[in-house]
Amino acid sequence: MIRMDMSTVWSSILSLVSGILLWGWKGHRDEVVRLQILLNRTREEIAKEYVTKQEVHADINRLMDRLDNLDSKLDRLIEGNRK
C-alpha cells in the first residue's frame, strides 16, 4: 500500500475541488455572456416597437393644439350662424 503524507492528500483534494469550481465557473461565465447578449437584443427590439414618454407627450400636445384650433373654428362658425 502506498503511504501518503497529509500535505499530499490535502493538495490533491484542493486541486480537485478548485478544478471543479473553475470548470463550473467557466460555464456560468458563458451563460452570463449569453444572457447579456439576449438582454441587449431585447432592449433594441423594445426601442423599435415602443415610444418614450417624451414622444407621447409631444404627440398629445400636438393633438391638443389641433383640437383647440378646431374648437375655435367651431366657435367662430356657431357665432357666424347666430348673426
- All structural domains of the chain with their residue ranges: 1-50, 51-83
Task: Convert 49-69 to b/e letters by CB count within 10 Å (16 or more is b).
Answer: eeeeeeeeeeeeeeeeeeeee
Start-end of H helices in 1-83: 6-49, 53-82
Q: Give the pLDDT of the chain (83 residues) as one tens digit per residue.
A: 466 788 888 888 999 998 888 877 777 788 888 999 999 888 888 777 788 899 999 999 999 999 999 999 999 999 988 86
So what's the pLDDT on residue 2? 61
Predicted TM-score (pTM) of the model is 0.43
